[in-house]
Structures are given as C-alpha cells and as structure tokens.
Amino acid sequence: MSTATTPTTARTSTRPGGSPVRRFTSLARAESLQFLRNKTLLVNATLLPMGFGLAMYLVLSGDDEQSKIQASAVAMEYFLLFALMFVQFYTVLSMVTTRRDEGVLKRLRTGEARDVEILGSSSFPGAVLTVLFTVVMSGLLMALGAPGPVNVVPIIVAVLLGLVVTSGLALVTSGFTKNPEAAQITSMPVMLLMFATMGNFRQMYPEGVNEVLARTPFALIFDLLQYGWAGNTTVDRMNDVAPLTSGEVLGETWQMMLILVVWAGVCVWAGARYVRWDVRH
C-alpha cells in the first residue's frame, strides 16, 4: 500500500519566489509532477474508488427507480470513502513524510514560501483528482440509469470539506510517522474511523453510539453525500424514512454542514500544529 514518491530534493529545493499565488503554483506543479510519475499511485487513485463504486451500483441496483437511487447513493459513499482514503489521505501522508525525510520541507521553509503554501501544495494533486473523479463518477452512474442528485449542495460541501479534513489528519499523522514505510501502520486509525462511520456499519450500532458517531467528521461527510444524492441516509432507509425534497434536504443538513466546517478548521489547525518539518524536530 506504500505510495512513497521518488526523491525530489533536486527538483523541489529551488526557492519559489514572487507572489503567494506564484509560489503556491510552483510548489503545486512540482507536487503534481511527482504524483503523476508514481504509476502505482495513479492506478490506485483511478481504479479503486470508481471501480469499487461502480461495482456496488451494479450489484445493488434493480429495475425500479427506488433501488437505483439507493444503489447509486451507496456507490457514491464507497467511492468517496476510497477517494478520501487513498487519493487524498494516504497520498498526503506519504508525500509529506517523504519530503520531510529528504530534507525538502526544511529547505523550503527557510526560503520565501510560507507554511500554508508548502503544506497546501502537498494536498493539491489528490484534491484535484478527487473533485474530477467525483464529477466523472456521478456522470457514469447517471449514464447507467441512476437518477441525478436531489440537491448538489451537500455533495459539494461533503467532497470539499472532506478533502480539508483528510489533509489535516494526514499532516497530524505524519507528525507521528517515523518514515514513509511506517505510514502503513500509522494510517490505520484514521482508515478504521472512515470505515466505522459509514452508513452500512452505523446501522448496526446501538442508538446511543450512533448518535455520537453521527457528529464525527466522516459520518457527517457520508451523510451529507447521501442526503444530497438520495434525499435520505442508509440509516433512514433502514428505518423506512421517506426521502426529502431538494429544499427539505437543505433544511435538514445545514447544521451538519456547519459542524463539518468546525471539524475542518480543527483538523487544519491540528495539522499545522503537529506536522514535523525535520526528522530531528
């Protein structure tokens, strides 16, 4: 599962100058080139999220519209799970840890680039791919006969804030990761949390546990995605709760979106606070 990138000392040690936009663009371009050179990472990023999501849709969908709605919502949930897990979280964790061990982060920090530009650029390639794949996945599901989303706003919020949350958690995890190989172990708590808060698993928990988990970041992300796509969640469907209309979805999810904004802020703060810039830090 290791996605450690090739050494980049010679290519990324040049100090980017100019405006903040120019510096960030230069750093993001360098990170994107390294991302694209890693064939294993590209295959995992492309095939795993969309392949698993499409497989879930084909297995769960029937001839009636309701089954297609439910199957497409579950398919999107699994797609986003693997996209956030492997395209964003594990990639940022691996890249930042590798750059730190090569001494690249320390050198960049002594130049003109600011911390937010350096760390933000590491999140750029996976974020762009995740957004692009979300659009492609949605189109593929509709091409296969799935109805379109009930309301796209919760979906957009879930994807964008999901990228922020996973990037922040990747930086935090990197601070406790000794080397890129160890990332396979240190990444497990976050990955287990992602799986544990999916709708299919949460329906098996006691009501009190489910109420607590429903306010954790990934549960909010998955619920927002399902509300936006189907008008209800996996737990709602198990309890025979009717789907909401587009306007009702916004009324139901606006508080969830605010809580997720707070989680995103906390994760970004923690990532900037606990990331290690040097192996001796």
pLDDT digits (tens, 9 = 90+) for 113-147: 888 888 999 999 999 999 999 999 999 999 999 98
Residue 166 φ/ψ region, left for φ over 0, alpha for ψ in the -120 to 50 degree band, beta for the rest:
alpha
> Which residue, chain included where needed, has tokens 């398919």?
75
Does residue 225 fall inside a structural domain? yes
Residue 235's φ and ψ, nearest 5 degrees, are -65, -40
**pTM confidence score:** 0.89
Residue 81 pLDDT exceeds 50: yes
Does residue 1 fall inside a structural domain? no
Quick one: what percent of the chain has pLDDT higher than 90? 52
Q: Lowest mean pLDDT: which of 74-88, 104-118, 209-223?
A: 104-118
Please state the rounded mean pLDDT for residues 90-97: 91
Range of the domain at 111: 17-274
Sign of the alpha-carbon dihedral angle for 97, 198, 126, 15: negative
- State the DSSP code for 84: I
- State the DSSP code for 89: I
Does residue 108 fall inside a structural domain? yes
Q: CA-CA distance, 224 to 271, in Å (whole number)?
A: 24
Residue 112's φ and ψ, nearest 5 degrees, are -85, -20
Q: Lowest mean pLDDT: which of 93-97, 149-153, 210-214, 258-262?
A: 210-214
Does residue 51 fall inside a structural domain? yes
Q: How many CB atoms sit inside 10 A of residue 64's CB? A: 9
Looking at the 3D structure of the chain, how many domains does it have? 1
Does residue 109 fall inside a structural domain? yes
Does residue 222 fall inside a structural domain? yes
Residue 177's φ and ψ, nearest 5 degrees, are -110, 120
Nearest to 152 by CA among 233, 72, 243, 230: 230
CA atoms within 13 A on the CB side of 141: 36
Residue 199 · residue 220 · CB < 8 Å: no
Does residue 2 fall inside a structural domain? no
Token digits for 47? 């095939």
Q: Lowest mean pLDDT: which of 11-15, 59-63, 157-161?
A: 11-15
